[in-house]
Amino acid sequence: MKITSAEYLKAAVKPDQFPETALPEVAFAGRSNVGKSSLINTLVHRKKLAQTSATPGKTRLIHFYDINHRFSFVDLPGYGYAKVSAETQRSWRPMVERYLQGRPNLVLVVVILDIRRDPAGDDIALAEWLSHHRIRHLFILTKADKLSGNERRNRRQSIRTRLGTPEGQELILFSARTGEGRDALWKEIQAAGRSGGEA
């Protein structure tokens, strides 16, 4: 996908603040610090469109971006970071669930996992919740640059088992460092855009 424009639209916490757009929308979800914002920047070939940080819990609000006037991208706040206050952790769920359930133009949720770690309870709960609500989603294993070939295969299999992902469903390896997986993910995004989110 050739990127001709990538623009930050706004930050929001509740539906009446979400931008009005009919563009197919793709949301990026995952644990705090897993690399959501970095993945968005890699997809759109911009170093600093989405704010990244070595400090977990950076993305607190729901951030909206316009990509090529063709797609809307959404950087969701990360979950599972122990050091943010209990209050903030409690507010994550209703905020994100309200977004995921109430967004008519949402065509795909990209769930991002760290290839080095087994999915945690939060990851599995999100995957089950998305399946239950019949929201189209796929899994990305990021930070793949940190592992060698053999380790990658082992980790991918272990994550597949833990998630209960069927053999036919691909788990895309990704790296914001090397750009690996970028084209494969764009293919999925474009397919979801064409189908309007129908599986």
The site for ligand GTP (CB under 6 A) is made up of 30, 32-38, 52-54, 56-59, 78, 142-143, 145-146, 175-177
Shortest Cβ 62–ligand GTP spacing (Å): 11
Q: Which stretch binds Mg ion (CB under 5 A): 31-39, 60-68, 111-119, 158-166?
A: 31-39
Other CB atoms within a 10 A radius of the CB of residue 40 amount to 26
Q: Are 137 and 188 in contact (CB under 8 A)?
A: no
Which residues make Cβ contacts (< 8 Å) with residue 132, sequence separation at least 6? Answer: none
Contact flag: residue 37 with Mg ion (CB under 5 A):
yes
d(CA 22, CA 119): 33
Which residues make Cβ contacts (< 8 Å) with residue 31, sequence separation at least 6? Answer: 78, 79, 80, 81, 113, 114, 120, 122, 123
Q: Which residue has the tokens 């359930």?
A: 101
Q: Which stretch binds Mg ion (CB under 5 A): 1-9, 35-43, 125-133, 154-162?
A: 35-43
Of 83, 91, 76, 80, the C-alpha closest to 114 is 80
CB closer to ligand GTP, 29 vs 197: 29
Question: Residue 177 binds which one of ligand GTP, Mg ion, none, with CB within 5 to 8 A depending on kind?
Answer: ligand GTP
Angle between helices 182-195 and 36-43 (to 10 degrees): 80
CB closer to ligand GTP, 28 vs 197: 28
Q: Which stretch binds Mg ion (CB under 5 A): 40-48, 56-64, 108-116, 168-176?
A: 56-64
Other CB atoms within a 10 A radius of the CB of residue 56 amount to 16
CB closer to Mg ion, 81 vs 129: 81
Q: Which of residues 110-149 bind Mg ion (CB under 5 A)?
A: none
Shortest Cβ 160–Mg ion spacing (Å): 25
CB closer to Mg ion, 27 vs 160: 27
CB closer to Mg ion, 65 vs 160: 65
Torsion of CA 80, 84, 89, 90, to 10 degrees: 150
Shortest Cβ 134–ligand GTP spacing (Å): 25
Residue whose beta carbon is closest to ligand GTP = 78
